[in-house]
Amino acid sequence: MAKGIWVIIEQSKSEIRKVSLEVLSQTRIIANETGEPLSAVILGKGIAELADKVAAYGADKVYLVDDEKLENYTTGAYTSVLNKLIRQEEPQAVLMGNTAVGKDLAPRLAQRLGVGLASDCTGMEIDQENFLKFKRPIYGGKAFADVTSNVRPILATIRPNIFPVAAPDESRKAEVVNETATIDPADLRAIVKDIVMATSERPELIEAEIIISGGRGMKGPENYKILEECADVIGAAVGASRAAVDAGWIEEKFQVGQTGKTVSPTLYIACGISGAIQHLAGMGSSKVIVAINKDPEANIFNLADYGIVGDLFEIVPLLTEEFKKLKSE
């Protein structure tokens, strides 16, 4: 009999990813409704101290797998360890963040277990039989599919920035279970040789609360500086449209849209972006959208909460100054 819901916690250098806490917080609400135990699973090296933290965010039980071979994420080792643990403990659902790790790990694990996976979900709820069902965007956000599975466990990855992180309750304690990793040489056929993190202090696009994005209207790579200056005042990430990326003005990793990143920030400021359907698909779920564009007919104005028809080269620097004033208040 399958029991309990699991959340796989992603951490790096003993720092828990925000999306893991978002998933844990939301799953706590669901576990309260179903009365099921909620477990957190942490893989890594030197992670014992994280158990109290996930307990404070709602885990009833914490599985720790501490091994130096798990220090960096590798598909093979992580899949192997989790496959064994899930078969042994039989949870009914296993959730994680839809991050670079989640996107690689979850399908591998689902296949190893012979089960279904709901990817990149933006909604979850329980049905009459207390079983989880998920809402996930398809066609880059132009439509949604409500999905479920009658095969246990069901796996799901949850999009960052969808669910709020609950206030931690430091008085909560969890049962801690230490598991040993058995890693087969075949699990290490792909080895991480080096990790190069971008030097930017700005938040990661998919997790950013605020994004300021530039499109064709930016006119050239040198002009992204004005967006960066604004971004740094309000703690935003910088994004771009496909037109700007295809013109070679900015790296692909900054592209927002159906063929780039899908984002759901609290505030999305679109500068010189016309609003092609494939771009809107990637940012249409932002809570508040601002559009600054010279063309009053630009499609982006049809969905912007605040629209300014004007020259972004004049307006954005002035806006940066206004934000500075607000921040210094």
Partner 1 sequence: MNIVVCLKQTFDTEAKIVIDGSGNIDSTGVDQIINPYDEFAIEEALQLKEKFGGEVTVVSMGPEKAEAAIRTALAMGCDKGVLITDPGLENPDEWVTAEVLSKAIAQIPYDIILVGRIAVDFGASQVGVRLADLLDIPSVSSILKLEIDGDKATVTREIDGGTELIELSLPAVLTAQKGLNTPRYPSMMGIMKAKKKEVKVLNLADLGLNASDLQPKMTVQKFSLPTPRTAGKKIEGEPAEVAAELAKLLREEAKVI
Footprint on residues 220-239 left by partner 1 (CB under 8 A)? 234
305 binding partner 1? (CB under 8 A):
yes
Closer CB to partner 1, residue 56 or residue 281?
A: 281
Distances (CA, A) of 244 to 144, 220, 238, 254: 28, 8, 12, 10
* Least distance from partner 1 to the Cβ atom of residue 315, Å: 5
22 binding partner 1? (CB under 8 A):
no
Please identify, among the stretches 26-34, 44-52, 198-206, 219-227, the one whose residues bind partner 1 according to the rule CB under 8 A.
198-206
CA distance 315 to 269: 12
Name which position in 103, 176, 177, 228 contacts partner 1 (CB under 8 A): 103
Beta-strand pair 154-158/11-12: unpaired
148 binding partner 1? (CB under 8 A):
yes
Closer CB to partner 1, residue 44 or residue 141?
A: 141
Element (H, E) at 229: helix 224-234
C-alpha gyration radius of the chain: 21
123 binding partner 1? (CB under 8 A):
no
75 binding partner 1? (CB under 8 A):
yes
295 binding partner 1? (CB under 8 A):
no
92 binding partner 1? (CB under 8 A):
no
For the residues of 93-107, what is the DSSP string, one character each?
EEEEE-SHHHHHHHH
Contacts of 85 (CB under 8 A, 6+ apart): 41, 63, 65, 179
Name which position in 29, 48, 126, 147 contacts partner 1 (CB under 8 A): 147
Q: ∠ at Cα 205 (44, 23), nearest 5°?
A: 50
Name which position in 142, 173, 184, 295 contacts partner 1 (CB under 8 A): 142
Q: In this structure, how many other beta carbons lie within 10 angstroms of the beta carbon of residue 143?
A: 10
CA distance 16 to 258: 28
115 binding partner 1? (CB under 8 A):
yes
Closer CB to partner 1, residue 125 or residue 175?
A: 125
138 binding partner 1? (CB under 8 A):
yes
Element (H, E) at 86: helix 75-89
* Least distance from partner 1 to the Cβ atom of residue 39, Å: 22
Closer CB to partner 1, residue 172 or residue 259?
A: 259
Q: Are 134 and 157 in contact (CB under 8 A)?
A: no
215 binding partner 1? (CB under 8 A):
no
165 binding partner 1? (CB under 8 A):
no
Name which position in 32, 33, 182, 318 contacts partner 1 (CB under 8 A): 318
Q: In this structure, how many other beta carbons lie within 10 angstroms of the beta carbon of residue 3?
A: 12
164 binding partner 1? (CB under 8 A):
no
Name which position in 68, 87, 100, 220 contacts partner 1 (CB under 8 A): 100
* Least distance from partner 1 to the Cβ atom of residue 174, Å: 27
193 binding partner 1? (CB under 8 A):
yes
CA distance 205 to 236: 9
Strand partners, 62: 40, 176
Closer CB to partner 1, residue 91 or residue 140?
A: 140
126 binding partner 1? (CB under 8 A):
no
189 binding partner 1? (CB under 8 A):
yes
User: Between residue 169 and residue 188, which ones bind partner 1 under the rule CB under 8 A?
Assistant: none
Q: Are 38 and 31 in contact (CB under 8 A)?
A: yes
Question: Which of 101, 100, 1 minimizes the C-alpha distance to 41?
Answer: 101
